[in-house]
C-alpha cells in the first residue's frame, strides 16, 4: 500500500522506505517532503524516532496528519542508537526492497523508481544498488558531489570495497530484502555498522550502480556517531575490523590474494591492540580460537594471552 494514497499497485514490487529520526528537527520537514515527490507508486513508509530530545516527533506527527499519510510511526522511550534502530526498521519492512533514509537528507524524486528498475532487470544475484549523491552543508547549500571522481564499479565489488577503492554514501543504496535473510542484520556489536554489513553483502552478492544522483547528502561539522567513534579512538576500529574481516573469509573461494590480505589485516590489528594492551585482545583471541582461525600460530596466541593475563 503506497503511503501517500493508501492504495496498492500490485504490478510493482513493494519498496519500504525506513526513516530514522534523532534530533534533526531543523531538517526533518525537508526530508519528509522529499518522500512525497517520489515517482514510484508502491512505497511503504516506516518512521522511527529514536527518543529525540527536540521536537522532531511532534513535527513528524503533524506532517502525517497534514498530508493524510498511511505509515508506521514509532517513538522510542529510550535512545537505542542507529544500529538497533536500523535493525528494527528492517524487521518491520514488508517490501521486496528497502531504502534506509536519515531525517537530515533529501531524497531525489526518481531514486526509488530508477533503482528498482535496475535491480529487477539484474536479478537475484544483485543484492543492492548504489548511486552518486549530491551534497549540501548544514545550511542546505549545495557543495558538489560525493566522491565524484571515483570510478563507478558494478558486479563483484568485494575487492574494490576491501581496498577502499569503492566508497559511497550509504543512504543512496536500495537493498534487496532477501539479503538480510541470507547474511543477517546489522551487527549490534559494532560501533559503526556500515563496513561490517557491506563487506558481508559484497562477499555474497553483486551490486548495480545508478547514475542518477539519488539523494542530497547533508555533510555536517559534527555528528553524534563520529563523536562516539572519536572517544573510542582506534581500539574499536581494530576490534570491529577484525570481526568483520574474519566473518567474510569463508565466502572467499577463489581470490587467494584478497583472502591473504584480510588475514594480514586481522594479524595487524591484533598486534596493534596487543601493543596498546587493549581490553579487547583476550576477547578476540578467544573468539578467533573458538571459530577456528589459525592464521596466527596457536602457540603465539596462547603465549600472548598468557602474557596479558600475567601483566594485568
pLDDT at position 44, please? Answer: 98
Q: What is the pLDDT of residue 220?
A: 79
Backbone angles phi, psi at 292, to 5 degrees: 80, 25
Q: What mean pLDDT is predicted for residues 100-118?
A: 97
Q: Which residues contact 181 (CB under 8 A, 6 or more apart)?
A: none
Q: What is the pLDDT of residues 1-58, one digit of tens each?
A: 899 988 888 899 999 999 999 999 999 999 999 999 999 999 999 999 999 999 999 9
Q: How many domains does the chain have?
A: 2
Q: Does 251 reside within a domain?
A: yes
Q: Containing domain of residue 276, as a range?
A: 225-310
Higher pLDDT, 271 or 233: 271
Q: Which of 77, 81, 115, 69 is nearest to 96 (CA)?
A: 115
Dist CA 47 CA 125 (whole Å): 29
Tens of pLDDT, residues 181-213: 999 999 998 888 899 999 999 999 999 999 999
* Grid cell at residue 69: 499519510
Same domain for 176 and 254, yes or no, is no
Place of cell 578476540: 284
- Beta-bridge partners for 99: 17
Query: Where do we find the cell 551487527?
Result: 187
Average of per-residue pLDDT values in the chain: 90
Are 144 and 88 contained in the same domain? yes
Residues listed for the chain: 312
Query: pLDDT at position 9, please?
Result: 85
Give pLDDT tens digits for 205-242. 999 999 999 999 998 775 555 555 455 568 889 999 99
Same-domain status, 148 and 126: yes
Whether 112 is covered by a domain: the verdict is: yes
This prediction has a pTM of 0.89
Are 81 and 167 found together in one domain? yes
Instruction: Confirm if 50 and 86 have CB atoms less than 8 A apart.
Output: no
One domain, residues 211 and 230: no
Task: Check whether 304 has a pLDDT greater than 80.
Answer: no
> Are 137 and 285 within one domain?
no
Is 93 in contact with 177 (CB distance < 8 Å)?
yes
Same domain for 110 and 183: yes
Clarify whether residues 106 and 57 are in a common domain. Answer: yes
Same domain? For 263 and 152 the reply is no
Round to whole Å and give the CA distance between 310 and 307: 5
Residue 91 belongs to a domain:
yes
User: Does residue 8 belong to any structural domain of this protein?
Assistant: no
DSSP assignment of the chain equals --TTTS---TTS--EEEEEEESS-TTTHHHHHHHHHT-S-S-EEEEEEE---SSSHHHHHHHHHHHTT---EEEE-SS---HHHHHHHHHHH--SSEEEEEETTSEE-TTHHHHHHHHHHHH-TTEEEEEE--EEE-TT--EEEETTTTS----B--HHHHHTT-----GGG-EEETHHHHHH-S--TT-SS-HHHHHHHHHHH-EEEEE-S--EEEEP-S--HHHHHHHHHHHHHHHHHHHHHHHHHGGG--S-HHHHHHHHHHHHHHHHHHHHTT-THHHHHHHHHHHTT--SS-HHHHHHHHHHHHHT-
Are 124 and 177 members of one domain?
yes
Per-residue pLDDT, 191: 83
Say what the pLDDT of residue 77 is.
97
Pairing of strands 106-107, 215-218: antiparallel
Q: Are residues 126 and 153 in the same domain?
A: yes
Strand order in the sheet with 215-218: 106-107, 215-218, 134-136, 142-145
Amino acid at each position: 500500500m503506497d503511503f501517500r494514497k493508501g492504495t496498492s499497485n500490485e504490478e510493482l514490487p513493494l519498496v519500504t522506505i525506513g526513516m530514522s529520526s534523532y534530533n534533526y528537527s531543523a531538517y526533518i520537514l525537508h526530508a519528509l517532503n522529499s518522500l512525497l515527490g517520489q515517482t514510484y507508486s508502491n512505497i511503504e513508509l516506516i518512521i522511527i524516532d529514536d527518543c529525540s530530545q527536540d521536537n522532531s516527533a511532534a513535527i513528524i506527527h503533524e506532517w502525517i496528519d497534514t498530508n493524510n499519510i498511511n505509515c508506521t510511526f514509532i517513538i522510542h522511550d529510550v535512545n537505542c542508537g542507529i544500529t538497533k534502530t536500523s535493525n528494527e526498521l528492517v524487521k518491520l519492512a514488508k517490501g521486496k526492497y528497502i531504502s534506509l533514509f536519515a531525517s537530515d537528507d533529501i531524497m531525489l524524486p526518481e531514486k526509488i523508481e530508477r533503482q528498482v528498475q535496475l535491480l529487477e532487470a539484474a536479478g537475484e544475484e544483485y543484492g543492492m544498488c548504489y548511486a552518486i549523491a549530491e551534497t549540501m552543508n548544514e545550511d542546505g547549500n549545495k557543495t558538489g558531489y560525493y566522491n565524484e571522481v571515483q570510478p563507478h564499479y558494478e558486479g563483484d565489488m568485494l575487492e574494490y570495497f576491501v581496498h577502499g577503492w569503492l566508497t559511497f554514501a550509504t543512504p543512496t543504496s536500495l537493498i534487496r530484502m532477501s539479503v538480510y535473510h541470507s547474511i543477517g542484520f546489522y551487527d549490534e556489536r559494532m560501533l559503526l555498522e556500515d563496513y561490517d554489513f557491506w563487506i558481508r553483502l559484497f562477499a555474497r552478492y553483486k551490486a548495480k550502480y545508478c547514475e542518477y544522483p539519488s539523494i542530497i547528502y547533508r555533510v555536517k561539522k559534527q555528528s553524534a556517531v563520529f563523536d562516539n567513534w572519536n572517544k573510542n579512538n582506534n581500539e574499536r576500529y581494530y576490534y570491529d575490523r577484525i570481526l568483520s574481516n574474519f566473518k567474510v573469509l569463508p565466502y572467499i573461494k577463489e581470490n587467494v590474494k584478497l583472502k591473504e590480505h584480510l588475514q594480514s589485516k586481522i594479524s595487524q590489528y591484533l598486534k596493534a591492540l596487543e601493543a596498546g594492551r587493549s581490553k579487547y585482545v583476550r576477547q578476540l583471541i578467544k573468539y578467533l580460537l573458538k571459530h577456528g582461525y589459525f592464521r596466527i600460530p596457536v602457540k603465539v596466541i596462547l603465549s600472548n594471552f598468557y602474557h596479558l593475563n600475567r601483566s594485568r
